[in-house]
Structure 1
């Protein structure tokens, strides 16, 4: 069996050193759509080295290593076809503001393997710390189609209640035709996002945008719209990927202010508001200013 849950769970952690520079941060920000308009003060905080702030979602690509999805597939006990893999969800917890340049130790391991019937769900947890202590923790949920059905634990099924009432803010963010090509330079070479033949083999009409690119674009919209650009107010960020986005489309991002958190829902405006991100929450270090 290509997926051996017992082996994956018993494997020791993968420990690597990661290094990033201001150029890596700038490239990531450009990859999620920063810099439009190029000279706007609010955009220069993402693109100009003398004013640079790090959007917390940079943690998902810091060091240029493989993201949680690709990394999980190279762990012991996991030998599956990349075309059968879907990124199911992502959680990020920020312990300290991410420095513009840094060197840190990354410790990753598979912490759970669930049997979803027609698919297996892997949970890949990564903890990153530098000489001053913990920086961030990420948790990627990875679906592998065709690898379920062995009678294992199905895992938790509870989901948060949807936000009530009309959203407080709705914004739209256009996606460049070459957005996926730019984003993949930050470390995710999955051909699903660039190769039309591979995309068709995976069941899509054409290459799709990285889920983590949508993830970053959404967080940037929240920070810019409701947090006044204060990236360090983000304490945690959690989402479930519910649909694909194609380069050239437009994201419609709905936001609800809450007590210590912002609830978010994202859809593809060009395809009848097809859901893209759901169960999405940005937890804050201090309340939203009304």
Structure 2
């Protein structure tokens, strides 16, 4: 495992269409109200792209198994998105995935990987964004490597939130979101979900991530008045289809902290969230 540190495990070119960007927007909470500003992200009229679309535009999980990770024990711990420019409604992207750090948390806990995906817009010849993921490989610890930790996400403030936004997910939310490329059966197959320890299929973590980003774009950015240039959080619990995600936001000028809960179960599902605006 230690030899993965510093290794580029994927370098691919991806094309995407305006319809794919709109599908992502629809699958992450845009288009759910009569507000005409919803159309900014869901139709071709002056179309803008949700920043978190980049998490699926360059989706590639094939390297996990290729590099010897046990897929049944891989857990997505955290996700961060940093934009250097705004995505076009359609285009071609190059995604370069590099494992920056590998930590050995012990045989009973697994390995912790800090992964960077650098994204380049080939139409404009620019460095578009950097994505950072924290991945727990629970079946790959105890290899004799060094222990350590990834960059820490800050806790949310202790005071009451400034804004709370509710978004009820659809019963078929996972079936809609999987059309973005993540076909993991955990999110639609009952038997598979039960074998993983869940009573029923769960929402994709990055779907919850995208829904929360959409909520903040609507409430804190007023759709189009400000741009979301950085966004990240820790995944702390699953969301089940048809549950309501309530995003609590603490505003601080050109940045914000957030936490998301499942309203029905009163469980934190995303925590230590941050958003930066421009």
How many angstroms does 1:206 deviate by? Answer: 0.9
- 3-state DSSP of counterpart to 1:198: helix
Take 2:192 and 2:256, find their aligned partners in 1: how far apart are those partners?
36
Q: Which residue of 2 aligns with 1:288?
A: none
Aligned length: 273
How many angstroms does 1:142 deviate by? Answer: 1.2
Q: Which residue of 2 aligns with 1:53?
A: 48
Q: CA RMSD in A?
A: 1.8
Q: Quick check: 1:43 aligned with 2:33?
A: no
How many angstroms does 1:75 deviate by? Answer: 4.5
- Residue segments in structure 2 that go unaligned for 5+ positions in a row: none
How many angstroms does 1:10 deviate by? Answer: 5.5
Q: Is the 8 A contact 2:7 2:98 kept in 1?
A: yes
- 3-state DSSP of counterpart to 1:45: helix
- 2:214 pairs, out of 195, 215, 220, with 220
Q: Which segment is superposed worse, 245-254 or 140-149? A: 140-149
Q: Is the 8 A contact 1:97 1:232 kept in 2?
A: no
- Residue segments in structure 1 that go unaligned for 5+ positions in a row: 286-290
- 3-state DSSP of counterpart to 2:23: helix
Q: Quick check: 1:147 aligned with 2:140?
A: yes
Q: Is the 8 A contact 1:83 1:198 kept in 2?
A: no
- 1:197 pairs, out of 185, 191, 194, with 191
Take 1:136 and 1:71, find their aligned partners in 2: how far apart are those partners?
21
Task: Provide closer, same or farther for how the CA distance between residues 141 and 72 of structure 1 changes in structure 2, counting only shifts above 3 A.
Answer: farther
Q: Is the 8 A contact 1:56 1:231 kept in 2?
A: no
How many angstroms does 1:94 deviate by? Answer: 0.3
TM-score by length of 2: 0.92
Superposed, which structure 2 residues align to 1:210-289 within 5 Å?
210-230=204-224, 233-271=227-265, 273-285=266-278
- 3-state DSSP of counterpart to 1:92: strand
How many angstroms does 1:102 deviate by? Answer: 0.9
How many angstroms does 1:160 deviate by? Answer: 1.6
Take 1:270 and 1:147, find their aligned partners in 2: how far apart are those partners?
35
Q: Is the 8 A contact 2:16 2:91 kept in 1?
A: yes
TM-score by length of 1: 0.88
Task: Provide closer, same or farther for how the CA distance between residues 27 and 96 of structure 1 changes in structure 2, counting only shifts above 3 A.
Answer: same
Structure 1 stretches of at least 4 aligned residues deviating more than 4 Å after TM superposition = none
- 2:77 pairs, out of 62, 84, 88, with 88
Q: Is the 8 A contact 2:11 2:97 kept in 1?
A: yes
How many angstroms does 1:281 deviate by? Answer: 0.1
Take 1:256 and 1:280, find their aligned partners in 2: how far apart are those partners?
10
Q: Which residue of 2 aligns with 1:79?
A: 69
- 3-state DSSP of counterpart to 1:100: coil
Show CA shifts across 1:119-171 (max 9, x none): 21122211111243111111111112232233433322644233131100112
